[in-house]
Amino acid sequence: MPELPEVETVRRGLAPALVGRRIARVEVRRPDLRFPFPENFAERVSGKTVNALERRAKYLIAALSSGDDLIMHLGMTGRFTIVTGNEAHVPGQYVYDAQSDPRHDHVEMRLAGGSRVIYNDPRRFGFMLLIPAVEREFHPLFDGLGVEPLGSDLTPEYLARRAHAKKVNLKTLLMDQRIIAGLGNIYVSEALHRAGLSPNRVASSLSDAAGRPTERARRLVPAIKDVLAAALAAGGSTLRDYRQADGGSGSFQNEFAVYDREGNLCPRPGCGGQIKRVVHTGRATNFCGRCQR
């Protein structure tokens, strides 16, 4: 499933085409994705202008001129592409990737001016919802979400408070969306390696008896931010399904230190350990047993 860097990369690719544009018409080609479309979905979106395109955790949020927020989730295989007719590929515009199967083009938005935004999702694990903007923070999807990892709220002090007296392991703590929103398997594994921390270590080791951050927490927070920033700079990680809004590939998978590297030697200079695999709450975790303590 796309994680924060992939979703943010898609947002940045879509924003120049959507923000400030009127959606002249919406065509919905099936009654549901993961969930049924909202009642009168096409009619409620058609004719509205996109005032802003935001991201919260792994959700894309288009603020519509009607006062509704269009909530979009990519699921496992969802992707947005932009058709600009026969126009040349110029900055801020993206050309439809002909390799995606048009049979899975489930939603098409025709924008004023002639361009189109198409949502394609072979496995249909994505979804689209409409909720009043004033109700967003109280909606079950958003109520209780943790801090954004690239924002100023994620500090060693915050992480220590949330980890204090917790008996779960570090991997489980960091995957909890109620603590940090948007982190997933790839970037948790990579951040723990950068911080030199074992995913098996108990979460409470991030705080002292008074709930203050330990040296481990002070290493982990910048490692999280650094790995996300590097992934964003690379356009995310392309595995099987994810592509950027222009149909291109992200390249951060070429920089993985541990994720999907089981059996390889640790890339940390002077380490020489071997990448191992364990399972936490049903998710595989790769780490170096020598330098991650």
Asked whether residue 61 carries a pLDDT value surpassing 90, the answer given is yes
Asked whether residue 177 carries a pLDDT value surpassing 50, the answer given is yes
Catalytic, 3? Answer: yes
Of 3, 6, 8, 190, which one is the catalytic site residue?
A: 3
Residue 141 is predicted with a pLDDT of: 96
Greatest alpha-carbon span in the chain: 64
Catalytic, 11? Answer: no
Q: How confident is the model at residue 255 (pLDDT cuts 50, 70, 90)?
A: confident
Residue 99 is predicted with a pLDDT of: 55
Displacement of CA 212 from its chain's centroid (Å) = 29
The mean pLDDT value for 241-246 works out to: 44
Look at residues 230, 269, 276 and name the one whose alpha carbon lies nearest to residue 253.
230
Catalytic, 283? Answer: yes
Domains in the chain (CATH in brackets) are 4-138 (3.20.190.10), 156-288 (1.10.8.50)
- The stretches of the chain forming alpha helices (DSSP H) are 4-18, 41-45, 156-163, 170-175, 185-195, 215-233
Residue 243 is predicted with a pLDDT of: 43
Rg over alpha carbons for the chain, rounded to the nearest Å, is: 20
DSSP assignment letter at 268: S
The mean pLDDT value for 107-136 works out to: 95
Of 2, 149, 156, 213, which one is the catalytic site residue?
A: 2
The mean pLDDT value for 172-177 works out to: 96
Of 11, 48, 58, 261, which one is the catalytic site residue?
A: 58
Residue 37 amino acid letter: F
What distance in Å separates the CA atoms of residue 127 and residue 35, rounded to the nearest whole number? 6
Residue 88 is predicted with a pLDDT of: 26
Q: How confident is the model at residue 97 (pLDDT cuts 50, 70, 90)?
A: very low
Which residue is it, tokens 């927070």?
Answer: 221
The mean pLDDT value for 111-116 works out to: 92
Catalytic, 58? Answer: yes
What distance in Å separates the CA atoms of residue 183 and residue 164, rounded to the nearest whole number? 20
Of 21, 44, 225, 283, which one is the catalytic site residue?
A: 283
